[in-house]
Amino acid sequence: MKVNVDPDACMGCGVCETIVPEVFLIGDEGYAVTLLVPAPEQYRDLIQQAVDECPEEAISAEE
């Protein structure tokens, strides 16, 4: 699964990191980065939750 974070849209609120810290981290630049590329299938549901709950709609995921 490919996960993308738009650094221009992300304000670093940390919702994604809270939901699935194995995949997301708020980096030194102040926005979320993905730790696993591609993201393992086992995190699919949590990644989708992070996509759905991102207040800036900065995260996208695709097969």
Domains, the chain, ordered by start? 2-62 (3.30.70.20)
pLDDT, tens digit (0-9, with 9 covering 90-100), for 25-55 = 999 999 999 999 999 999 999 999 999 999 9
Q: Taking the model in full, what pTM does it have?
A: 0.92
What span, in angstroms and rounded, lies between the C-alpha atoms of 46 and 13?
17
Cis peptide before 38 (omega within 30 of 0): yes
Averaged confidence pLDDT in the chain: 96
